[in-house]
Chains A and B, each alone.
Chain A
Amino acid sequence: MVGMTKKNTIFWLCIFLLPNLLGFLIFIAIPIASSLVVSFTDWDLVGSINFTGLDNYIRLMGDSEFWIALRNTFFFILGYIPLVMIFGLLCALLLNKKMKFRAFFRATYFLPVITSWVAVSLVWKWLYNPNFGLINYFLSLIGITGPEWLNDPNTAMIGIILTSAWKDIGFVMVLFLGGLQNISPTYYEAASIDGASKIRELWSITIPLLAPTTFFVTIISLINSFQVFDQVMIMTEGGPGGSTTVLVQNIYNYAFRYYEMGYASAMSWILFLIIFIVTLVQMKFQSKGVN
């Protein structure tokens, strides 16, 4: 760099970095720090702020509502992850082949991904309608009396899981398509010389070589699904009978319905802790993969 003095650098830094840095501090860094502080208080947005130490966290441990929300979140994850992974991979395998209308099919499978959660949830709520919904109509065609779906505590979460998987399959598919393109064709050439069947190729080449992608996609889906909210809020609002209340729904309720900011903040830090642990595991595995 020619003729750059120190004063000069400071001038340009103020222009380039300062606006972003200020916004970062005001809307991201300081909120994170203050959220941690608030989680140790009993603030209700109007009264005075009292430090209550670990009280919120202790209360959380004994709060059955919180444990139910945690259990529901895990139930969601347990249903959702295998569905999106398996069908996302299947779609990627299908659409990785050369074929007619490939662009059309890819666009179709990706369509739900670009649609907002609110729009998707409303459409599915209509599909799930027990009396006039399309799903129970299709079920009736094969002689099955459909369930009450979102109105029944036993099936409401299943309904949310199916909708969520439907929406995100295209996203997982795109990530897998990227992984498939990174597998060198020479492996398949060698396999076909050896006369390996397609199924054999899938088990011995594609799936093992896709492992890093699979791991990555699992972690991403896991982190996202701990934050599941929009579809729950629109489709069931956590009901019926708390059967679909998830972590973020619980945080939302405490913060913006009951105004218990301290308690809600403590909950959000538990959420962070869970995501942090998942991320750490990912980093550990990734660095292993590099070596």
Chain B
Amino acid sequence: MNEQQLKRRNLIKKILFYLVLIGGAFIMLVPFLWMLSTSFKPSGATMVFPPEFIPENPTTENYKEVTEVFPMMRFLWNSIFVAVLTTIGQIILSAMAAYAFARMHFKGRDKLFLLYLATMMVPTQVTMIPQFILIKEFGWLDSYQALIIPTMFGVFGTFLMRQAMLSVPRELEEAAFMDGANHFKVFLNVCLPAVKPTIATLAIFTFMQSWNNFLWPLIVVNSNDKATLPLGLSLLEGRWGTDWSLMMAGVVISIVPILAVYLFAQKYFIQGMTMSGMKE
């Protein structure tokens, strides 16, 4: 094989490699593009064969209808509200408990933490029935409390933050105590700044989990007033199950915000997802 042949073979290999990559990207992207295309079609245009890839008469009517006739904006607001509060609550509660578990000494600490860990193995389906009964007894059915408060207490978050806080050097903490700081100051000025990346990861992970959660809202919410996007979409489907252009407009509205957050914080998304895998 001379040099030219070798060069040509490498070129062919390279082209093949990129073809496979692009083919994969195509498979990943086409459903999204098809969704986007459908959402701009007048409702009659979804029932044509062969399908139109680029709508002949694009219209924004579906977006108008889905937000005016159907409370899509309400769902969007509910999702944002619930996800933001859940995330803030989860971060504060797990960071503080993690500080106690990682940096304080008390009797039974390790046993208590072991109990926390043990519950991570139990699937949510086991806890959801008693949680539903509890929410019903509290009179919280169909309320924001029901969506937010139970989901603020994630054992995984506490576990993650504890692991991060264990790695904070003792000397930093001791120096702060020497200067007369109390636990709260050490927590705020020494520990939290040291675990910032973990906080970001947990924040993104919790936000995404809350944003995409379907089963829990399905159980505790029964009105449009408190429905989050995934639940709202399923309601939309129940009502206009065959109006695909309308439904795709709804789906686009539900995807755009999380997509924006993802593009902004890609690294933390991937870390969060990877770590969530570690929890089991």
A-side interface residues toward B, CB under 8 Å? 1-2, 9, 12-13, 15-17, 19-21, 23-24, 26-32, 34-35, 38, 45, 91, 94-95, 97, 99, 105, 107-120, 122-124, 126-127, 129, 131-132, 134, 137, 166, 170-171, 174-175, 178, 216-217, 219-220, 223-224, 226-227, 229-230, 233-234, 248, 251-252, 255-256, 261, 264-265, 268-269, 271-272, 275-276, 279
> Do most interface residues of chain A lie in helix, strand or loop, or is the interface mixed?
helix
* Interface segment out of the listed B2-10, B54-62, B64-72, B208-216: B208-216
Residues of B within 8 A of A16 (CB): 96-97, 99-100, 104, 183, 187
A89–B229 CA distance with the chains assembled, in angstroms: 32
Residues of A within 8 A of B21 (CB): 94-95, 99, 105
B153/A268 in contact, CB under 8 A: no
> A271 with B123: in contact, given A119-B230, A175-B274 (CB under 8 Å)?
yes
A-B pairs with beta carbons under 8 Å apart, 7 shown:
A126-B35, A126-B244, A132-B49, A137-B51, A229-B215, A261-B129, A272-B121
B139 within 8 A of A: no
A27–B155 CA distance with the chains assembled, in angstroms: 11
Residues of B within 8 A of A12 (CB): 100, 104, 182-184
Query: Looking at the complex, which one of B104, B208, B237, B273 makes contact with A122 (CB distance below 8 Å)?
Result: B237
> A20 with B25: in contact, given A26-B134, A94-B20 (CB under 8 Å)?
no
A20–B97 CA distance with the chains assembled, in angstroms: 6
Residues of A within 8 A of B229 (CB): 116, 118
Q: Give the nearest-CB partner of B101 in chain A.
A: A17
A105/B25 in contact, CB under 8 A: yes
Residues of A within 8 A of B273 (CB): 113, 171, 174
Query: Looking at the complex, which one of A15, A17, A38, A251 makes contact with B184 (CB distance below 8 Å)?
Result: A15
Q: Give the nearest-CB partner of B212 in chain A.
A: A116
Residue of B35, B46, B128 with most chain A CB atoms under a 10 A cut-off: B128
Q: Give the nearest-CB partner of A254 in chain B.
A: B129
Residues of B within 8 A of A113 (CB): 273
Residues of B within 8 A of A1 (CB): 174, 177
A124–B244 CA distance with the chains assembled, in angstroms: 11
B46/A19 in contact, CB under 8 A: no
Query: Looking at the complex, which one of A32, A118, A166, A223 makes contact with B214 (CB distance below 8 Å)?
Result: A118
Q: Give the nearest-CB partner of B20 in chain A.
A: A94
Interface string of B157-189 (1 = CB under 8 A from A): 010000000000000001001100011100100
A85–B233 CA distance with the chains assembled, in angstroms: 30
A227–B121 CA distance with the chains assembled, in angstroms: 13
B97/A118 in contact, CB under 8 A: no
Q: How large is the interface on B (under 10, 10 to 19, 20 to 34, 35 or more residues)?
A: 35 or more
B215/A251 in contact, CB under 8 A: no
A120–B251 CA distance with the chains assembled, in angstroms: 8
B93 within 8 A of A: yes
Residues of B within 8 A of A122 (CB): 233, 237, 247-248, 251
Residues of A within 8 A of B270 (CB): 110, 174
A45–B182 CA distance with the chains assembled, in angstroms: 49
B114 within 8 A of A: no
Q: Give the nearest-CB partner of A251 in chain B.
A: B125
A198 vs chain B, min Cβ distance (A): 10
B259 within 8 A of A: yes
A272–B127 CA distance with the chains assembled, in angstroms: 11
A116/B254 in contact, CB under 8 A: yes
A256/B104 in contact, CB under 8 A: no
Q: Give the nearest-CB partner of B213 in chain A.
A: A116
A185 vs chain B, min Cβ distance (A): 20
A114/B259 in contact, CB under 8 A: yes
B96/A223 in contact, CB under 8 A: no
A134/B29 in contact, CB under 8 A: no
Residues of A within 8 A of B150 (CB): 27
B236 vs chain A, min Cβ distance (A): 9
B81 within 8 A of A: no
> A21 with B31: in contact, given A219-B280, A220-B280 (CB under 8 Å)?
no
Which residues 1-45 of B have a CB within 8 angstroms of A?
17-18, 20-21, 24-25, 27-32, 34-35, 38
Residues of A within 8 A of B233 (CB): 118-119, 122
A133 vs chain B, min Cβ distance (A): 8
Residues of B within 8 A of A9 (CB): 104-106
B31/A124 in contact, CB under 8 A: yes
Residues of A within 8 A of B147 (CB): none
A23 vs chain B, min Cβ distance (A): 4
Interchain residue pairs A-B with the least CB separation, the first 7: A20-B97, A31-B130, A23-B153, A116-B212, A118-B230, A17-B100, A16-B100
B48/A132 in contact, CB under 8 A: yes
A119/B25 in contact, CB under 8 A: no
A236 vs chain B, min Cβ distance (A): 12
Query: Looking at the complex, which one of A31, A129, A275 makes contact with B131 (CB distance below 8 Å)?
Result: A31
B266 within 8 A of A: yes
In the complex, given contacts A116-B214, A127-B34, what are 18 additional A-B residue pairs having Cβ atoms less than 8 angstroms apart? Answer: A16-B100, A20-B97, A21-B97, A21-B112, A28-B127, A29-B119, A32-B122, A110-B269, A115-B255, A118-B212, A118-B231, A118-B254, A126-B248, A134-B51, A233-B218, A256-B218, A264-B129, A271-B126
